[in-house]
Structure 1
Amino acid sequence: MITDVESATPALCRLQLGRELRQLRQEAGLTSTQVVRTLLCSPSKLTRLETGENSVVEAVDVMALCEIYGANPEKRALLMGYAAVTKTKRDWWQSPEYRLAIAPTFKAYLGLEATASALHTYEGEFVPGLLQTEAYVRAIYQREHERLSIDEIDRLVDVRMTRQEVLRRASVPLKFAAVVNEAVLRRQVGSPAVMRAQIEHLAEVAERPSVRVQVVPFKAGVHPGMNGAFTLFRLNEAESIVYLEYLGGASVIRKRADVGLYEEAFNDLQILAVGPQESLGLIREAIKEH
């Protein structure tokens, strides 16, 4: 539960509101179908409310659901407070200066990243986004998006840098664990100076208490990450979501059985990779190469 609703972000309030509404429905012994029939709304609307996907939550919807579920006055006041934050505040990625630089499919990722208690990611080609330097990000965008103007690239870089605030948030720092292929350390992105600075930054961040970085060395051979990069968001002890990004777009996986496959893969990767200290040694070796 959020202890200070007024200072919470809209994304976190939407997520917590969804959890509370889903719990109330289950405690009332009601199915989603029964609720939408009573509320006279579409099934997708209830799903969006329970998963925190609506950018704004209407107070009238929250009050109607509280009536259906028989929520007590204290619970109603709390949920109305969550809804009010979604109406009066804006997540940083919804601001005008960022809106044009963020694809609609990526907004879901930013919402998950902002609300997750833990993030586990495997990367085979790039340094994970939350650990990238500005020059490294710029080198990637200049190569991948050659038709973009300098201003457009500046906005994209700014988005990437702003995302990294989750690692420094004052309340509860994001617990971040990354497993990277050794190729990430060896592949030069930008000039040798850019790459050297990036690897130095990676070594520095890897020593933070809330950050864990491990490397899968080439000698490890075949491993569970060879099908591609993936990110696991831990929202609470019982709920995790997988985010996959590919050339044509992105997708979010919520089905428990499918999420479990990625959780198992990440656990296997952590076992197969060398430990954090040995990984730090590999990172420092790569600095010398660049």
Structure 2
Amino acid sequence: MGQSKKKSSSPAAQYFAEVLHILRTVRELSQNDLGELMAYSGAAVSAVETGAKPATDEFIDAAEKALSAWGLIAAAKKYLRLERYPEYFQGFVQLEQEALSVSSYGTQLIHGLLQTEAYARALFRCDFPPLDEAEIEELTQARLERKALFDRKPVCVINVILEEEALRRQIGGTDVMRSQYKHLLDCSERPNVILQVMPSKVGAHAGLRGPMTVIETPEQTSLVYTEALGKSLLVSNPVEVGVLSRRYAMISRQALRQEESVALIEQLAGEL
């Protein structure tokens, strides 16, 4: 999910740059002075203040500490993280990270929550129009940050159903896929993760209309998210959500059980 390009200098990034500049000026520090306190170069501080480069989490933490900013700088982290994603995906990321449960059915690729860094980076490298190295790195890191959901308290239940063809698609080559299969197997051992595979031999089944994700919110209501070609749709109508949730339940019943799914992934890993 989420591979399109996005604007280089977002409103949140511009606001952060201005706050950083104001606080630095109040402290009567040059860019070189602040850089020295942060263990960064003055050029790096300048790049963030001018919007030439986005502020990383490490940069934000260092600036907060160096400027003793009462949390004003650190507070920007979650908003800047959000804007690393394409615009159409940002709303979903917020829902995902707060969800009580995430139930996803995917058809083309391994789900973003389950991707290794190498798999995600290889995926972004084949995007079109092509992404530059800075965009690839930013999107890869944003995808990895979503994995915080696995260890969040309260626990989130994550149920992922993958089409067998998504597992067989060779993204990044043999070494990347071997590592990806191992990661999937490791994830399947987590008590809050249910991993299923829809085998190709099933033929016609309830999921042929396309991928979707069912989100259970902290208010214990359900929403359904789907996307295609850089466009997204969030379904909140209770009747429609009910239909789609039942469809997901049927897909789950038609897919392999977790034990059988794990065996299939082990088989695929052995074929490399």
The normalised TM-score by structure 2 is 0.70
**Identical residues among aligned pairs (%):** 31
Counterparts of 2:246 and 2:111, CA distance in 1:
20
- Give 1:237 deviation, angstroms: 7.0
Structure 2 equivalent of residue 187 of structure 1 = 169
Change (3 A) 1:198 1:232: same
* Match runs of 1:93-242 below 5 Å: 93-95=78-80, 98=81, 101-145=84-128, 147-169=130-152, 171-236=153-218, 238-242=220-224
Counterparts of 2:82 and 2:100, CA distance in 1:
25
Give the unaligned 5+ runs of structure 2: 1-71
Q: Which letter maps to 2:149?
A: V
Q: Which letter maps to 2:110?
A: V
Counterparts of 1:252 and 1:189, CA distance in 2:
28
- Write the deviation string for residues 53-103 of structure 1: whole angstroms up to 9, x where unpaired: xxxxxxxxxxxxxxxxxxxxxxxxxxxxxxxxxx998475412xx465322
Question: Conserved in 2, the CA contact under 8 Å of 1:117 and 1:235?
Answer: yes
Question: Conserved in 1, the CA contact under 8 Å of 2:119 and 2:172?
Answer: yes
Counterparts of 1:258 and 1:92, CA distance in 2:
35
Structure 2 equivalent of residue 80 of structure 1 = none
RMSD: 1.9
Change (3 A) 1:111 1:284: same
Change (3 A) 1:93 1:243: farther
Number of aligned residues: 201
Counterparts of 1:89 and 1:108, CA distance in 2:
21
Counterparts of 2:96 and 2:194, CA distance in 1:
17
Counterparts of 1:92 and 1:261, CA distance in 2:
37
Counterparts of 1:269 and 1:207, CA distance in 2:
22
**Secondary structure of the residue that 2:246 maps to in structure 1?**
helix
Q: Which letter maps to 2:210?
A: G
* Match runs of 1:265-284 below 5 Å: 265-284=247-266
Question: Conserved in 2, the CA contact under 8 Å of 1:231 and 1:242?
Answer: yes
Structure 2 equivalent of residue 65 of structure 1 = none
**Secondary structure of the residue that 1:180 maps to in structure 2?**
strand
Change (3 A) 1:238 1:168: closer
Counterparts of 2:145 and 2:76, CA distance in 1:
12
Change (3 A) 1:233 1:100: closer
**Secondary structure of the residue that 1:225 maps to in structure 2?**
coil
Question: Conserved in 1, the CA contact under 8 Å of 2:162 and 2:197?
Answer: yes
Question: Conserved in 2, the CA contact under 8 Å of 1:93 and 1:107?
Answer: no
- Write the deviation string for residues 155-179 of structure 1: whole angstroms up to 9, x where unpaired: 000000001111111x222100011
Counterparts of 1:188 and 1:88, CA distance in 2:
41
- Give 1:200 deviation, angstroms: 1.0
- Give 1:198 deviation, angstroms: 0.5
Q: Which runs of 4+ in 1 moved over 4 A?
A: 87-93
**Secondary structure of the residue that 1:224 maps to in structure 2?**
coil
The normalised TM-score by structure 1 is 0.66
Change (3 A) 1:246 1:90: farther
**Secondary structure of the residue that 1:178 maps to in structure 2?**
strand
Give the unaligned 5+ runs of structure 1: 1-86
Counterparts of 1:281 and 1:90, CA distance in 2:
44
Counterparts of 1:88 and 1:241, CA distance in 2:
33
